[in-house]
Amino acid sequence: MSRKLIDCSQLPSEKQCTLTISGSEEEVLDLAVIHAILTHGQEDPHELRKQLRLLLQDAPEVKSATA
Ligand SMILES: [Zn+2]
Protein backbone atom coordinates (compact mmCIF):
# COMPACT_ATOMS: atom_id res chain seq x y z
CA MET A 1 0.00 0.00 0.00
CA SER A 2 1.31 3.43 -0.85
CA ARG A 3 1.97 5.78 2.01
CA LYS A 4 0.42 9.20 2.27
CA LEU A 5 1.60 12.31 4.00
CA ILE A 6 0.02 15.43 5.43
CA ASP A 7 2.10 18.47 6.22
CA CYS A 8 0.32 20.50 8.88
CA SER A 9 2.30 23.61 7.98
CA GLN A 10 0.22 23.73 4.77
CA LEU A 11 -3.03 23.93 6.67
CA PRO A 12 -4.62 27.30 7.32
CA SER A 13 -3.86 27.85 10.98
CA GLU A 14 -3.04 30.57 13.42
CA LYS A 15 -0.33 28.40 14.92
CA GLN A 16 2.99 27.75 13.29
CA CYS A 17 2.80 23.99 13.19
CA THR A 18 5.54 21.88 11.65
CA LEU A 19 3.99 18.47 12.17
CA THR A 20 3.93 15.97 9.35
CA ILE A 21 1.99 12.73 9.57
CA SER A 22 2.60 9.80 7.25
CA GLY A 23 1.12 6.36 6.90
CA SER A 24 -1.79 4.77 5.10
CA GLU A 25 -4.49 7.16 3.94
CA GLU A 26 -6.87 6.18 6.73
CA GLU A 27 -4.19 6.34 9.41
CA VAL A 28 -3.11 9.78 8.30
CA LEU A 29 -6.65 11.10 8.20
CA ASP A 30 -7.53 9.65 11.61
CA LEU A 31 -4.51 11.19 13.29
CA ALA A 32 -4.75 14.47 11.42
CA VAL A 33 -8.35 14.94 12.52
CA ILE A 34 -7.43 14.23 16.16
CA HIS A 35 -4.46 16.56 15.89
CA ALA A 36 -6.53 19.36 14.38
CA ILE A 37 -9.11 19.07 17.15
CA LEU A 38 -6.66 18.82 20.04
CA THR A 39 -4.03 21.24 18.85
CA HIS A 40 -5.87 23.64 16.59
CA GLY A 41 -9.23 23.78 18.33
CA GLN A 42 -11.18 22.56 15.33
CA GLU A 43 -14.56 21.06 16.06
CA ASP A 44 -16.10 19.36 13.05
CA PRO A 45 -14.48 15.97 12.38
CA HIS A 46 -16.46 15.31 9.21
CA GLU A 47 -15.59 18.64 7.64
CA LEU A 48 -11.98 18.28 8.76
CA ARG A 49 -11.70 14.87 7.17
CA LYS A 50 -12.95 16.27 3.87
CA GLN A 51 -10.49 19.16 3.96
CA LEU A 52 -7.59 17.01 5.07
CA ARG A 53 -8.20 14.45 2.35
CA LEU A 54 -7.58 17.19 -0.21
CA LEU A 55 -4.18 17.86 1.33
CA LEU A 56 -2.92 14.29 1.21
CA GLN A 57 0.31 13.93 -0.69
CA ASP A 58 2.15 10.83 -1.77
CA ALA A 59 4.85 10.12 0.78
CA PRO A 60 8.31 9.60 -0.69
CA GLU A 61 9.42 5.99 -0.90
CA VAL A 62 11.45 4.97 2.10
CA LYS A 63 14.59 3.32 0.86
CA SER A 64 16.05 0.68 3.09
CA ALA A 65 19.27 2.10 4.42
CA THR A 66 21.44 -0.95 4.67
CA ALA A 67 24.91 0.33 4.01
ZN1 LIG B 1 -0.83 21.17 13.38
Q: What distance in angstroms lies between residue 41's CA and the mean position of ligand 1's atoms? A: 10
Phi-psi label, residue 58: left if phi above 0, alpha if psi -120 to 50, beta otherwise? beta
Distance 54 CA to ligand 1 centre (A): 16
Low-confidence ranges of the chain (pLDDT < 50): none
Helix and strand tally (H, E) in the chain? Answer: 2, 3
pLDDT for res 2: 84
Q: How far is the CA of 50 from the centre of ligand 1 (A)?
A: 16
pLDDT at 31: 97
What is the extent of the structural domain holding 48?
Answer: 4-58
33 found inside a domain = yes
Distance 64 CA to ligand 1 centre (A): 28
- What pTM value is reported for the model? 0.82
Q: How many other β-carbons are positioned within 10 Å of the β-carbon of residue 39?
A: 13
Residue 64 in any domain: the answer is: no
Number of domains in the chain: 1
